[in-house]
Amino acid sequence: MPELPEVELVRLELQPVMETARFESVILNRPNLRTAFPPDFADRLVGHAVRSLQRRGKYLLAALSSGEILVMHLGMSGSFRVNSDADLADPHDHVVFRMSSGATIVFNDPRRFGFMDVVADHASTTRAGVGALGPEPLSDAFDAAALARACRGKKTSLKAALSDQRVVAGLGNIYVVEALHRAHLSPRRRASTIATPNGAPRESAIRLVQAIKKVLREAVGRGERNRFRVYDREGQRCRTGGCRGVIKRITQANRSTFYCPVCQR
């Protein structure tokens, strides 16, 4: 499933051809993705311009000149492509936006776990699942104090806490394990251990927030998934300087977790 860096890269690709442009036509090649499109989905878009295209967690939010918001989620296999002439030969091309910028934007989703809806305003994004999200990890609002407050008293693992979109928005399996490795914290560690009993951040919370921000910024800057230090490296030497550990894989909540049992405590 695309995680925050991948969704941010999609936003950066779509922004030049969507912002300030109007929807000239909207073609739906099926009645639903993960859920059914609203019956007036196309009519609520056509003729209206995109005032801004923002990302919230793993969601894309297009603020429209009508005052409404187009909410989009890639799901597990969704992707956008931008071209001048849509090729509808692919049976998984489910949505086509023709913009006044001259661009044709095609949403392709083989597994159909993606999501699109039009909501009345930002307050209504709660219905689409956006309102329950925690702070953006690259924002000033996400700091060690905020993370410690969210983890105070939690008996779940640190891996599970960071994967909870209510704790921090947009993190997924890959970047959680990468951040934990950089912060030298075990994914099995109880989440509450990074906070004092009254919810103040311990030094481990500071390290972890710094690692999360660094991992995400590097991923967005590279523009691709590569150079992982721990993810999918089972049986290989740990890349932490001076560490002689070997990367292990365990399963947590039905997802693979990769970590170094020597330097992650």
The amino acid at residue 80 is F
Select which of 22, 51, 255, 261 is catalytic.
Answer: 255
Structural domain spans, the chain: 4-128, 144-259
pLDDT digits (tens, 9 = 90+) for 148-182: 999 999 999 999 999 999 999 999 999 999 999 99
Is the CATH code 3.40.50.10440 the one for domain 4-128?
no
Q: Provide the CATH number for the domain formed by 144-259 in this structure.
A: 1.10.8.50
Active site annotation includes 155: no
Select which of 44, 56, 58, 207 is catalytic.
Answer: 58
pLDDT digits (tens, 9 = 90+) for 69-125: 999 999 999 999 998 555 567 899 999 999 999 999 999 999 999 999 999 876 556
Active site annotation includes 2: yes
> DSSP string spanning 31-78?
SBSSSBPPTTTTTTTBT-BEEEEEEETTEEEEEETTS-EEEEE-TTT-
Active site annotation includes 255: yes
pLDDT score of 226 more than 70: no
Q: Where are the alpha helices (DSSP H) in 111-237?
A: 144-151, 158-163, 173-182, 203-222
Q: What is the chain's mean pLDDT, rounded?
A: 93
pLDDT score of 140 more than 70: yes
